[in-house]
Amino acid sequence: MDDATGAAAKAGVEVGGSPGMRRNGLELAVVVVTLVLWIPGLRVLAGVYGEVEWASHGFLVPIVALWAATAHRAALADRPARPLRGGVALLGALVLAYLAALLFGNPSVIGLVGVATVVGLVAALRGLAWVRTLAFPLAYLLFMVPLPTAWITPVIVRLQLLVSSVAVALLRAFDVAIHRDGNVLTLPGDVTLFVAEACSGITSLVTLLPIGVFIAYFTESVPWRRVALVAAVVPIALLGNLIRVVLTVALAMRVDVAFATTGPVHEWAGVATYVLGCLCLLAVGAGLRRLGGGARSDAGVPA
């Protein structure tokens, strides 16, 4: 051992880097390898997000979850890293599950395995205390899992019929001569409108739910108010699309069917419906806080 090395050892500096530095380097390597391994799976999920309108929020969910995790950085600083025993075996099992999910090509299963892999990484590298602290952002990742088509299709059909029937009842109350056959609306002059999937409310329902959960977690501390805020997503989504259908019928009668159902007006109506839903959620949250005397400043962020 030369003089420089001996001096470093006496000063308490370990040659080759400190244990913390080596651990961080190992963790980074594991995360990078996992991301590379997951490229095919992420491409499958991105394909669903890009093609299915009601799944498009999947792109933003990991970003929101990561931001939510930063709210717990103070608590995490007080929790030492205690990697889970058997963490290597857990990660190995998750790799096998991922390969099996890729083989079957089911986006929902791939998404679930992806969320489990993130939880497994946190447990294997930092321990169960970190998993408990990050429970909300980790659970929030479930919103990036594409819902199975077999589950969504019956819901869409029911929502189309519900929105169509209520819209017709409202229009008839204003003496509009309109006939409904399923989700096909017939206007005076034998003009027909089709209440499509986009107008059923499914997109607003599925995409507003993560926003409602996020707002409830970070602005409310009382359980019943959190539940009430999240539950408000359902009537808000349905009401917004009901208004959209009624206005579309009105435009079709007063202007033109093509003008009401295609082009920028129709597209912006969808955007306006979503924005209105977000504003209504914020308004409901503010009303609940006023009703309950306000929310704690530490709502949703455990120590």
Could you read off the pLDDT tens digit of each residue along the chain, which spans 303 residues? 455 444 444 444 444 456 657 777 888 899 999 999 999 999 999 999 999 988 999 999 999 999 999 999 999 988 888 999 999 999 999 999 999 999 999 999 999 999 999 999 999 999 999 999 999 999 999 999 999 988 898 988 888 888 889 988 988 888 888 888 888 888 877 778 777 776 777 888 999 999 999 999 998 888 999 999 999 999 999 998 888 888 888 888 887 777 777 777 777 777 888 888 899 999 998 898 888 665 444 455 554
Question: How far from 280 is each of 14, 68, 154, 215, 284, CA to CA, in Å?
Answer: 58, 22, 27, 12, 6
Residue that the structure tokens 């359980």 belong to: 223
Helix residue ranges per DSSP H, 128-232: 128-133, 135-140, 149-173, 202-219, 223-231
Taking only the tens place, the pLDDT of each residue in 96-149 is 999 999 999 999 999 999 999 999 999 999 999 999 999 999 999 999 999 998
User: Residue 129 and residue 122: Cα distance in Å, rounded?
Assistant: 10
Helix (H, G, I), strand (E, B) or coil at 179: strand
